[in-house]
Amino acid sequence: MPLPPQTTTAVQDYLEQIHQLIDAKGYARAVDIAANLGVSQASVSAMIQRMDAEGFVVYEKYRGIILTEKGREIARHIIERHEVLTRLLRRFGIDEDTIYNDVEGMEHHISGQTLGVLTMITEELESNPALVRKLKARLARG
Ligand code: MN
């Protein structure tokens, strides 16, 4: 499914972070979002207010930041892209920092169609170590 065109890369990154924090800790605090995204807490507060107004999250003083159904759906799509792209690149032994940086960019831009192709390729590679060895040998030859 394509991502709604009106969601910016920044909104997608926030939704991804909030979903992961809630998964890991049960709640998402502005301080953790700020630390993970490398932005100030003031920026997080402003963004959360905007995302609340746009229907991606609900911010309640005591319950904290909650994803709406729309917000959760976008977060899941981004996380799915992140996971598939990471699994694919790890097969080739690329270092984790490079994978993370590349995936954080790519996850916002690939279409559902391309994701389907890359998911299929990833699954094939995961069940075919001989092919991975062959491809890695080619990479090593340069
Ligand atoms: Mn990501």
Name the token pair of 103.
């995936």
Task: Note the pLDDT tens digit of each residue in 31-61.
Answer: 999 999 999 999 999 999 999 999 999 998 7
Give the whole-angstrom CA distance, residue 126 versus residue 131.
9
pLDDT per position in the chain (142 positions), as tens?
Answer: 556 656 899 999 999 999 999 999 999 999 999 999 999 999 999 999 999 999 999 998 777 899 999 999 999 999 999 999 999 999 999 999 999 999 999 999 999 999 999 999 999 999 999 999 999 999 999 8
User: What DSSP character marks residue 2?
Assistant: P
Residue in the block written with tokens 């939704």: 15
| Other Cβ atoms closer than 10 A to 2 | 9
pTM above 0.85, yes or no: yes
For the chain, residues classed under CATH 1.10.60.10 are 78-141
Give the whole-angstrom CA distance, residue 115 versus residue 113.
5
Closest by alpha carbon to 79, among 43, 121, 115? 115
Closest by alpha carbon to 111, among 69, 134, 81, 74? 81
Question: 107 CA to middle of ligand 1, Å?
Answer: 6
Give the whole-angstrom CA distance, residue 103 versus residue 95.
12
Q: Which helix or strand (DSSP H or E) is residue 138 part of?
A: helix 129-141
Confidence (pLDDT) at 67: 97
Question: 50 CA to middle of ligand 1, Å?
Answer: 21
Say which CATH architecture domain 9-73 belongs to.
Orthogonal Bundle (1.10)
Give the whole-angstrom CA distance, residue 70 versus residue 46.
20
For the chain, residues classed under CATH 1.10.10.10 are 9-73
Please state which CATH number belongs to domain 78-141. 1.10.60.10
Question: 117 CA to middle of ligand 1, Å?
Answer: 19
